[in-house]
Amino acid sequence: MTKYKITVIPGDGIGPEVTESACEVLKAVGRKSGHSFAYTEVAAGGAAIDSCGMPLPKETLRLAKESDAVLLGAVGGPKWDNLPGDARPEAALLGLRKGLGLFANLRLAVLFPELRDASPLRPDLVKDGVDILIVRELTGGIYFGKRGREKKVEKLEDGTPKGVEAFDVECYCEAEIERILRVGYNSAMQRNKHLTVVDKANILETSRLWRSVTEKISKEYPEVETDFMYVDNASMQLVRCPKQFDVIVTSNMFGDILSDEAGMITGSIGMLPSASLGVPGTPGMYEPVHGSAPDIAGKGIANPLATILSAAMMLRYSLGLPREGAKVEQAVSEVLAKGFRTADIVENRGDSFLGTKEITEKVIDEYEKL
């Protein structure tokens, strides 16, 4: 039986409420599986600015690096909105990503059958459910490429002076593409063995390199069906027939955009988990997609399911306990099937709902039955 070291960063707003829920569920996993989880709680974001004067104290990063996995709630809030960029709570996220070498971001967009009505898509488009994993490259591409501005002396064809020109360079090397593809293929092997590389290979040279690296790596995963799709088509297909996707692997910018679109299909931000991973053997970071929801913080009504599902991803991807992860996911599904809801996912305004702690207890009850 293994003892896992988890660094917990509750953060701001509803962060402490939802991370507490996920830790309670992990404790139940420990009781049942015989493994144990040792939590070290540390500050980052607004909470760290208040207590230590900086968004990411060195000690937080040190402890995060020494753990098996990091569980993060959310950071930010109006109290710190007027601080300059690198002193803001959100700077902690960038520091953690960089410090932990997290190059892969995994976002699950699952439409639970019971929440089908929450989807903005027509019921016939989502009748078979949606279960997509978007694997986004997180530390390369245009967001990290050379950028700048230049005053141009040239003119447009019609003679208008160009004025200032700005540029952002998209750049990927084979090694970066290969390592993100491996995360995608290994995930596809645990899922429905279908991987779609989304790119713009009809125009971009970087996309053509993505394709040739994919052709090479795909040979190592003969069980996985690999296909390619242009990003413009992918954005249409996601709303036309989301069921066709299993795992999507894509670049930083395309993944940024498509993961929000896929998340929206599920209709509920309180249900979306995510994982950020580095090289195998180093700690991954797990967090809900939503922010700190200052409007409902401290009221005990936040939906903890995205964070609980993030903990399930942690079991699967960092702790080598995929069966326990699947059971946690099933427990969440059972809770929804029994009609339990938090305020954000009730069908009609005025319907009764459970608070953060109560729905967490329901998940634990269901988990214990599995």
Nearest to 14, CA basis, from 370, 348, 303: 303
Question: CA-to-CA distance for 179 and 279, rounded, in angstroms?
Answer: 8
Report in angstroms how near the CB of residue 50 gets to ligand NAD at its nearest.
14
Residue with smaller CB distance to ligand NAD, 73 or 184: 73
| Lookup result for tokens 């279908």 | 194
Q: Out of 21, 226, 252, 292, which residue is the one contacting ligand NAD (CB under 6 A)?
A: 292
Establish if 90 lies at the interface with ligand NAD (CB under 6 A). yes
Which of the residues 145 through 204 are near ligand NAD (CB under 6 A)? none
With contacts defined by CB under 6 A, name the span among 95-103, 121-129, 158-166, 301-309 that binds ligand NAD: 301-309
293 touches ligand NAD by CB under 6 A: yes
Query: Is residue 77 within the footprint of ligand NAD (CB under 6 A)?
Result: yes
Q: Can residue 303 be called a binding residue for ligand NAD (CB under 6 A)?
A: yes
* 128: annotated active-site residue: no
For ligand NAD, which residue has the nearest CB? Answer: 291
- Tell me how far apart the alpha carbons of residues 13 and 223 are, in angstroms, rounded to a whole number: 44
Active site includes 81? Answer: no
| Closest among 75, 80, 91 to 13, alpha carbons compared | 75
**Count of CB atoms within 10 A of residue 165's CB?**
11
| 367 a catalytic residue | no
Q: Where is 16: in which H helix or E strand?
A: helix 15-33
Stretch that binds ligand NAD, among 139-147, 212-220, 298-306, 310-318 (CB under 6 A): 298-306
Query: CA 86, CA 84: separation in Å to the nearest integer?
Result: 6
Candidate residues 16, 55, 76, 255; the one interacting with ligand NAD per rule CB under 6 A: 76
Using CB under 6 A as the binding rule, the residues of this chain from 7 to 36 that contact ligand NAD are 14, 18
* Other residues' Cβ atoms within 10 Å of the Cβ of residue 160: 8
Q: Which stretch binds ligand NAD (CB under 6 A): 214-222, 228-236, 296-304, 359-367?
A: 296-304
Of 230-289, binders to ligand NAD (CB under 6 A) are: 269-270, 287
Which residues is 229 bridged to in the sheet? Answer: 198
What DSSP state is assigned to residue 301?
Answer: -
State yes or no: is 27 an active-site residue. no
Spatial separation of the C-alpha atoms in residues 159 and 28, rounded to whole Å: 71
CB closer to ligand NAD out of 90 and 365: 90
Our answer to whether residue 260 is catalytic in this structure is: yes
Q: Among 25, 91, 28, which residue's Cα sits nearest to residue 55? A: 91
62: CB partners within 8 A, 6+ apart: none
Q: Which of 200, 243, 362, 365 is catalytic?
A: 200
Contact residues toward ligand NAD (CB under 6 A) are 14, 18, 74-77, 90, 93, 269-270, 287, 290-296, 302-303, 306, 344
